[in-house]
Chains A and B, each alone.
Chain A
Amino acid sequence: DAKTTQPNSMESNEEEPVHLPCNHSTISGTDYIHWYRQLPSQGPEYVIHGLTSNVNNRMASLAIAEDRKSSTLILHRATLRDAAVYYCILRDPYGGSQGNLIFGKGTKLSVKP
């Protein structure tokens, strides 16, 4: 099954952009790229997802490489509330049980004031 690779941790300064990378070299054609984040002692929160084209929403932007083997979550202006563990997850919506969200270790983002 397709997997993702993320750095264990990253640091950012408040109000600066943050680029969180994710490698997924074995992605299949039907895998969507999902990003979730989890603040301490809370359930995960959906951030963004996409298939091929770059995506923007009020929280973030998702840049997907042309070959889809990597993607980058972009937080345009980090705030202290963005400090969380960010998970990049591949999901095949038509894969039955193989299409379930499988959480890896994610990237722990620290934001310095």
Chain B
Amino acid sequence: GAVVSQHPSRVICKSGTSVKIECRSLDFQATTMFWYRQFPKQSLMLMATSNEGSKATYEQGVEKDKFLINHASLTLSTLTVTSAHPEDSSFYICSAEKGVTDEQFFGPGTRLTVL
């Protein structure tokens, strides 16, 4: 199956700093990438949909100025959590798909802890 990687896998930062998370599709070109967030003991929540070369589409309630998404190529999307606060601590997961009728391939997730 296709592989999606995320970097870093774990990050701890101080409140007020910005954190960038990378999502790469390693062996295929992704038409669309997705960013999810998962709090402990909860299900995944879709944050935004990202298409290469265009602005991301954010879900209701997700602040686009706080969660900056850049989709620079068909194999790379980045999520930057700006001015992170403790309540942003969560498990961030990206996914990618080859086409709309195909399955999504998920990355291993990034555990963000904001002190």
Please list the residues of chain A having a beta carbon within 8 angstroms of any beta carbon in chain B: 32, 34, 36, 38, 41-46, 49, 87, 93-94, 97, 99-106
Q: List 6 A-B contacts (CB under 8 A).
A: A36-B104, A41-B109, A43-B4, A43-B93, A44-B44, A103-B46
Q: Is the interface of A mostly helix, strand, loop or mixed?
A: loop
Q: Which residue of A lies closest to B6 (CB)?
A: A43
Give B78 Cβ to nearest chain A Cβ, in Å: 17
Please list the residues of chain B having a beta carbon within 8 angstroms of any beta carbon in chain A: 1, 4, 6, 34, 36, 43-46, 49, 57, 91, 93-95, 100-101, 103-109, 111
A93→B100 contact, CB < 8 A:
yes
Q: Which residues from A are CB-within-8-Å of B4?
A: 43
A46→B104 contact, CB < 8 A:
yes
